[in-house]
Amino acid sequence: MNQYLPIVLLMALAGALCAAMVTLSWLLGPKRRTPYKEAPFECGVEPLPGARERFPVKFYIVAILFILFDIEVVFLWSWMATYREWLDAGSPAALYSFWAIMVYMFLWFLGDAYVIRSGALAWDESTTLAPEKLPAEPDEDEPLPTTGESIEIHEGARAAS
């Protein structure tokens, strides 16, 4: 039990410090309640719009790609650990696993090329994911829009929406 004494003391000290800070803020803090203070805090974003606000699809695509990348890295990491053991042991599984991982890497890079080519990682409005919403080409005699003016969308995009 003596070997755990420093850990128990550290946990007790951390708990006492947290309790002291919460108690001091309760004793010394202002007591006025306002509707603004009672509203839920949303990471610095004003909580004025409803909670059912839509997010662009590109955020979900990036999240899915991140999960896929994590799965690929976990797979490669585990393969590297076993491959080294197979090489040291002179196992015939080392050669088979090498070619299997080469096929896997080829498919991985093929998928990454598709993601980049399709514009899933492009964050401007002119992505290739929605080519019908590209800005219209300006006429030569028409001046370019300045700040605050909108850019016209192709007629095909207007008809689709």
113 is a domain residue: yes
Query: Please, which residues bridge with residue 45 across strands?
Result: 42
Q: Who has greater pLDDT, 85 or 125? A: 85
Calculate mean pLDDT across residues 50-71.
80
Q: How confident is the model at residue 157 (pLDDT cuts 50, 70, 90)?
A: very low
Q: How confident is the model at residue 15 (pLDDT cuts 50, 70, 90)?
A: very high
Structure confidence at residue 47 (pLDDT) = 56
42 is a domain residue: no
Residue percentage of the chain with pLDDT more than 70: 65
Amino acid at 134: L
Residue with tokens 């606000």: 53
Condensed to tens digits (0 to 9), the pLDDT of residues 88-105 reads: 888 888 899 999 999 999
109 is a domain residue: yes
119 is a domain residue: yes
What is each CA distance from 21 to 7, 9, 15, 120, 136, in whole angstroms? Answer: 21, 18, 10, 46, 59
140 is a domain residue: no
List helix spans (H) across 2-56. Answer: 5-28, 35-38
148 is a domain residue: no
Do 127 and 136 form a contact (C-beta atoms < 8 A)? Answer: no
pTM of the model: 0.43
Q: Tell me which residue range forms the domain holding 116.
A: 57-123
Q: Who has greater pLDDT, 14 or 158? A: 14
Q: Who has greater pLDDT, 134 or 48? A: 48
Q: Who has greater pLDDT, 140 or 112? A: 112
Per-residue pLDDT at 135 exceeds 70:
no
Q: 68: closest CA among 115, 124, 128?
A: 115
Buried b (16+ CB within 10 A) or exposed e, 61-73: beeeeeeeeeeee
48 is a domain residue: no
Task: Give the containing element (helix H, strand E) for 71.
Answer: helix 57-89
Distance CA 41, CA 46 (A): 8
Domain count of the fold of the chain = 1
Between 11-20, 33-42, 48-57, the lowest mean confidence (pLDDT) is in 48-57
Distance CA 142, CA 122 (A): 29
What is each CA distance from 125 to 73, 129, 149, 151, in whole angstroms? Answer: 30, 10, 16, 12
131 is a domain residue: no
